[in-house]
């Protein structure tokens, strides 16, 4: 299928061939019929992509500060590689799509194949969305009209925050798509509406929809509102414009009545003046897109709805309210359509919205498709390798870590990149193009059932690692799993049993034990007489508590998902079995454990010890990792994988390596050699299970505070 993508490095808007998304859990697969280009948001993205690197930096000063911090800690070369990778990764465009349900996942409620729906899916021939972000289109409402629903829902959520009542006067400041749809919604609610803009055609449309037009280029808009309201002022002002200036907010406050309400729906400068709000006791709110549920992963990804008795208007229910108004004729978006393009000509549509031609509602229409061919369209055959090539690699997951780190390492080792799979199809197709995979797919059977795949790489979210590893092992494949191997001991036991039955190699991405500096320290420790004390200080940085990695079920928490790296590193340096682990987490003022600020103590069979200080509360500019080993009156230290320090150990006390090397390339090299040549795996299976088991227990201790 075709999907519209935008590159941030070149500004290119392109139609890419990607596999049809796979449906699972609470998701729907919808065949597109019409989609709307959100001119404001999408023009901003395209313009950003077409800007020079300096212009991009000026637009995002906060990102520049992050880059400078990374240069100080990681070095210039890794930082520039990360920046380039970020800019090179194409992103999907669009969030206003209407079409027909083709498939429904097992946890979908309220939808069936054949239903006409509107979604917030991107511009693509097929889109995958959770059922909470879809709404059924009433009879009599066309796909083209329905495609305006998400944009209208943005305006509706702003109205809900303003809470106007029958007969109140509301100003809509900015008459783009959202503003003109908001005018109609307010008029249907019984409000008197004043529309402000500088464009004569948009003012005429607002007047057609029942608003009082006020030309922002012809005089003092504050005086105009006061004249219309008899000096009282507006009951509420909705700011639906896009501006860098602080003046719109100042004007909105000035035109409001005593105790009026201001709601920011668009984008504007926010250097607020206290006197504007103090004397009138004004309230100010910023509206969040379509409504409650937005940016909540439980709602938007997990498909878990909010009870209607507690949250009356969610994203989905705002969609439904908009569609209901379209069905009655109270809301008519079709007069806003200025251009229609066939989807095949979509790049030309973006030339219109970014050029000088006047435009407002730009609609893309999609060709009819054979839904019976969907299963075949989930795999795209791209190129064929030479018949003499060794067995191929099947990669599951195409996230940032895969694309930036592991795939380049595999490519450098001459691995035959047979197939790459991703759930949505887009990231996998982009990675397939970049690394020259033979096929891109959303069908896992295209990897597990492919006799030309002899090794499977599981690079997905943590909660799927164990089950995918078991499936791959049972299919007779060697398996590389990015950490963690499992989130529960039961799942870990299942993986261990599958590995023992299959006789195939199993590997976990414990890359730090393969780093050149680790190899050097391990050699220094080889002749020690007494126990070694390992101290790992990890300045991990804060991650929002609602991020999936913090969820015990999805990510396992940061001890299981990330801190196990340093438990394994200590196991590798000591070279002895782990006997016990103890965890001391920090606590919040209420006494509850903070499981991503924790101290993990490890006891080894030879009397050695290790402490992993895993800290999410440090400065970003501080180096991320430091490893210190104390033994026999000597000390060696690894400073952020760039420098080695020796105290009492022969050699220079300070050895700078320059470029950061965390061992990914050496890890893949060792793994590929084991797969190709046979023999012992890079890490014994028993050791993988041992480290993983203790990490799971440590994660439970950190969460429970025991």
Per residue in 644-679, pLDDT (tens digit) is: 999 999 888 778 767 889 999 999 999 999 998 888
Asked if 2 and 20 touch (Cβ cutoff 8 Å), the reply is no
384 within domain boundaries: no
Verify that 48 and 180 share a domain, yes or no: no
101 within domain boundaries: yes
Q: Report the Cα 372 to chain-centroid distance in Å.
A: 31
Res. 507: pLDDT tops 50:
yes
Q: What is the mean pLDDT of residues 554-573?
A: 96
User: Residue 306 carries which DSSP code?
Assistant: P
Verify that 142 and 7 share a domain, yes or no: yes
- What angle do helix axes 516-525 and 564-574 make, rounded to 10 degrees? 40
The CATH number given to whatever domain includes residue 464 is 3.40.50.720
**Of 286, 316, 340, which marks where a domain is finished?**
286
Verify that 328 and 242 share a domain, yes or no: no
Q: What is the pLDDT of residue 71?
A: 64
Q: Number of folded domains in the chain?
A: 4
Sheet holding 643-647, edge to edge: 578-587, 593-604, 609-615, 533-539, 625-631, 634-639, 643-647, 654-656
Q: What is the mean pLDDT of residues 469-496?
A: 97
Q: What is the pLDDT of residue 388?
A: 47
Q: What is the pLDDT of residue 49?
A: 63
Verify that 274 and 128 share a domain, yes or no: no
Q: What is the pLDDT of residue 72?
A: 62
Q: What is the mean pLDDT of residues 314-339?
A: 97
The CATH number given to whatever domain includes residue 72 is 3.90.180.10
The more confidently predicted of residues 210 and 374 is 210
The more confidently predicted of residues 40 and 160 is 160
The tens digit of pLDDT for each residue in 580-606 reads: 999 999 999 988 999 999 999 999 999
Q: Is the preceding omega at residue 649 within 30 degrees of 0, hence cis? A: no
Q: What is the pLDDT of residue 59?
A: 62
Verify that 591 and 680 share a domain, yes or no: yes
The tens digit of pLDDT for each residue in 387-438 reads: 545 589 999 999 999 999 999 999 999 999 999 999 999 999 999 999 999 9
Verify that 314 and 278 share a domain, yes or no: no
435 within domain boundaries: yes
Verify that 554 and 480 share a domain, yes or no: no
385 within domain boundaries: no
The tens digit of pLDDT for each residue in 169-182 reads: 999 999 999 999 99
Verify that 237 and 318 share a domain, yes or no: no
Residues ≥6 apart with Cβ < 8 Å to 370: none
Sign of CA dihedral 224, 228, 230, 233: negative
Asked if 379 and 441 touch (Cβ cutoff 8 Å), the reply is yes
Q: What is the pLDDT of residue 80?
A: 63
650 within domain boundaries: yes
User: Residue 391 carries which DSSP code?
Assistant: P
User: Over the chain, what is the mean pLDDT?
Assistant: 92
120 pLDDT band, cuts 50/70/90, is very high
**Of 509, 538, 573, which marks where a domain is finished?**
509
380 within domain boundaries: no
Percent residues over pLDDT 90 in the chain: 77
353 within domain boundaries: yes
Verify that 435 and 563 share a domain, yes or no: no
Structural domain that includes position 135:
2-148+295-365
What's the per-residue H, E or C state across 545-597? CCCHHHCCCCCCHHHHHHHHHHHHHHHHHHCCCEEEEEEEEEECCCCCEEEEE
Verify that 97 and 238 share a domain, yes or no: no
Token readout for 169 is 């006067």
Lowest model confidence (mean pLDDT) among 63-67, 147-151, 356-360, 397-401? 63-67
Res. 221: pLDDT tops 70:
yes
- Coil vs helix vs strand at 367: coil
**Of 509, 525, 556, which marks where a domain is finished?**
509
Token readout for 107 is 């946890």
Verify that 216 and 205 share a domain, yes or no: yes
Asked if 453 and 419 touch (Cβ cutoff 8 Å), the reply is yes
Q: How far is CA 145 from CA 32, 70, 133, 141, in A?
A: 14, 47, 17, 6
Q: Residue 539 class from Cβ within 10 Å (0-12 exposed, 13-18 middle, 19+ buried)? A: buried
Verify that 315 and 423 share a domain, yes or no: no
Res. 452: pLDDT tops 90:
yes
Residues ≥6 apart with Cβ < 8 Å to 307: none
390 within domain boundaries: no
The CATH number given to whatever domain includes residue 607 is 3.30.360.10
Asked if 140 and 334 touch (Cβ cutoff 8 Å), the reply is no
Asked if 71 and 78 touch (Cβ cutoff 8 Å), the reply is no
The tens digit of pLDDT for each residue in 295-320 reads: 898 899 889 999 999 999 999 999 99
Q: What b/e sequence results for 62-72 when a residue is b if at least 16 CB atoms lie within 10 Å of its CB, and e otherwise?
A: eeeeebeebee
The more confidently predicted of residues 212 and 270 is 212
Phi, psi of 489 (to 5 degrees): -70, -30
């Amino acid at each position: 299928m075709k999907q519209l993508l935008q590159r941030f490095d070149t500004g290119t808007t392109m139609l890419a061939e990607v596999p049809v998304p796979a449906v699972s859990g609470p998701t729907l697969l919808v065949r597109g019929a019409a989609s709307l280009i959100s001119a404001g948001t999408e023009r901003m993205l395209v313009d950003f992509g077409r800007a020079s690197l300096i212009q991009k930096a000026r637009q995002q000063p906060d990102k520049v500060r992050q880059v400078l911090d990374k240069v100080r800690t990681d070095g210039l070369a890794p930082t520039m590689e990360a920046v380039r990778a970020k800019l090179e990764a194409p992103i999907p465009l669009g969030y206003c799509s209407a079409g027909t349900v083709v498939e429904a996942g097992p946890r979908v409620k309220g939808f069936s194949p054949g239903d006409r729906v509107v979604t917030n899916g991107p511009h693509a021939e097929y889109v995958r969305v959770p059922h909470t972000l879809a709404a059924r289109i009433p009879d009599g409402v066309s796909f083209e009209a329905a495609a305006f629903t998400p944009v209208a829902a943005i305006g509706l959520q702003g109205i809900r925050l303003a809470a106007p009542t029958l007969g109140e006067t509301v100003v809509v400041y900015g008459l783009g798509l959202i503003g003109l749809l908001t005018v109609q919604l307010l008029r249907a609610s019984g409000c008197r509406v004043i529309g402000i803009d500088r464009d004569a055609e948009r003012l005429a449309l607002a007047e057609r929809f029942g608003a009082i037009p006020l030309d922002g280029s012809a005089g003092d808009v504050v005086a105009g509102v006061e004249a219309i309201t008899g000096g009282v002022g507006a009951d509420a002002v909705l700011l639906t414009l896009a501006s860098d200036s602080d003046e719109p907010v100042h004007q909105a406050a000035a035109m409001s009545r005593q105790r009026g309400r201001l709601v920011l729906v668009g984008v504007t400068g926010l250097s607020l003046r206290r006197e504007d709000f103090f004397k009138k006791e004004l309230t100010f709110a910023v509206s969040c897109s379509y409504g409650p549920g937005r940016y909540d992963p439980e709602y938007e990804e997990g498909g878990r709805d909010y009870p209607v008795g507690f949250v009356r208007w969610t994203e989905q229910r705002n969609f439904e309210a908009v569609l209901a108004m379209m069905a009655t004729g109270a809301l008519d978006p079709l007069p806003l359509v200025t251009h229609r393009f066939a989807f095949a000509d979509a790049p030309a549509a973006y030339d219109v919205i970014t050029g000088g031609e006047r435009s407002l509602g730009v609609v893309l229409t999609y060709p009819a498709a054979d839904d019976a061919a969907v299963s075949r369209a989930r795999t795209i055959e791209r190129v064929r390798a030479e018949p003499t090539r060794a067995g191929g690699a099947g990669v599951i997951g195409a996230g940032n870590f895969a694309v930036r780190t592991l795939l380049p390492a595999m490519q450098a080792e001459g691995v035959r990149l047979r197939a790459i799979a991703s759930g949505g199809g887009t990231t996998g197709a982009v990675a397939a193009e970049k690394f020259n995979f033979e096929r891109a797919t959303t069908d896992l059977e295209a990897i597990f059932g492919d006799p030309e795949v002899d090794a499977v790489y599981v690079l997905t979210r943590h909660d799927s690692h164990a089950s995918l590893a078991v499936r791959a092992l049972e299919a007779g494949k060697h398996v590389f799993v990015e950490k963690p191997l499992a989130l529960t001991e039961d799942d870990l036991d299942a993986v261990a049993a599958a590995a023992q039955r299959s006789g195939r190699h199993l590997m976990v991405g414990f890359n730090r034990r393969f780093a050149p500096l680790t190899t050097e320290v391990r050699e220094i420790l080889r002749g020690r007489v007494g126990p070694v004390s390992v101290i790992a200080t990890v300045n991990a940085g804060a991650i929002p508590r609602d991020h999936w990695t913090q969820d015990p079920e999805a990510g396992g928490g940061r001890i299981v998902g990330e801190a196990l790296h340093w438990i394994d590193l200590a196991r590798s340096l000591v070279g002895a079995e782990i006997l016990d682990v103890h965890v001391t987490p920090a606590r919040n003022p209420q006494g509850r454990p903070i499981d991503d600020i924790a101290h993990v103590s490890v006891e080894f069979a030879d009397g050695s010890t290790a402490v992993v200080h895993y800290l999410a509360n440090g400065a970003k500019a501080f180096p991320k990792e430091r490893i210190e080993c104390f033994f026999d009156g000597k000390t060696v230290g690894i400073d952020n994988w760039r420098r080695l320090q020796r105290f009492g150990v022969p050699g220079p006390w300070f050895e700078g390596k320059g470029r950061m090397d965390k061992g990914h390339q050496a890890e893949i090299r060792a793994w590929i050699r084991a797969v190709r040549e046979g023999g012992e795996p890079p890490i014994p299976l028993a050791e993988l299970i041992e480290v993983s088991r203790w990490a799971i227990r440590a994660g439970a201790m950190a969460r429970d505070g025991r």
